[in-house]
Structure 1
């Protein structure tokens, strides 16, 4: 019995020759394909607006909101958007949207662009004709 105890205790001191379990790397999840997009343009601060130049709009383009109200009366809509504004004037013949933007940083917004459509069905109409039809004076 003592020989059996000695063998068992001796076996406990001998290192095991069995190989350690191999750690296999976990496969990476499949990468999702993200469509390439162009990066947003860098913010460069103030960007001056483009000014619409059309015959018949000379009395509108460049006016501030107060000047447009003197010309057309109270706007149906007044929509401020940051430092810009949209004014909408309406009458039976047409709807006139006037967009006002500052021409330089900190300046008051003035009319730089217009759009006109028929009040009945929204079809585009001549802007200068709409200005003449809605003009109060």
Structure 2
């Protein structure tokens, strides 16, 4: 009976102390003196077509008035459409205070299937 009481006491203390342990993995603190990033970093271009790296005026000069001109957070999207395809061009400033440049271009058919971007650019230029 005494042994059962000791076992119960040890088990109770173990559970009680285990609840006080807190997180076992320490959280890393940011290095002192380094500011936190507050600005949104624009995406880096991963495509290669005639619009990438150009400002919006280049697309406007090629295609005319866009179907849509939408501000999206720190970016801008211009959408151009024709009978062959729909083209979305996304613009972000490479750094604060700089002009926004095209960083990504999507093309699709009017039915919604993916389309070839350079072919769509050529089709919309005509």
Q: Normalising by the residue count of structure 1, what TM-score does the alignment of the two structures yield?
A: 0.61
Structure of larger gyration radius: 1
Deviation per CA, 1:70-99: give whole Å up to 9, x if none: 011110000012331000000000000000
- Give the structure 2 partner of residue 53 of structure 1: 47
Q: How does 1:88-107 map to 2 (within 5 A)?
A: 88-107=79-98
Classify the secondary structure of the residue corresponding to 1:44: coil
Classify the secondary structure of the residue corresponding to 1:70: helix
Stretches (4+) displaced over 4 A: none
Structure 1 residues 82 and 106: CA distance shift in structure 2, 3 A: farther
Question: What's the Cα RMSD here?
Answer: 1.4
Classify the secondary structure of the residue corresponding to 2:58: helix
- Give the structure 1 partner of residue 15 of structure 2: none
Q: Normalising by the residue count of structure 2, what TM-score does the alignment of the two structures yield?
A: 0.66
Gaps of 5+ in 1: 1-42
Classify the secondary structure of the residue corresponding to 1:67: helix
Gaps of 5+ in 2: 1-35
As a proportion of its length, which structure holds more helix? 2
Question: Whole-Å Cα distance in 1 between the matches of residues 52 and 90 of structure 2?
Answer: 9
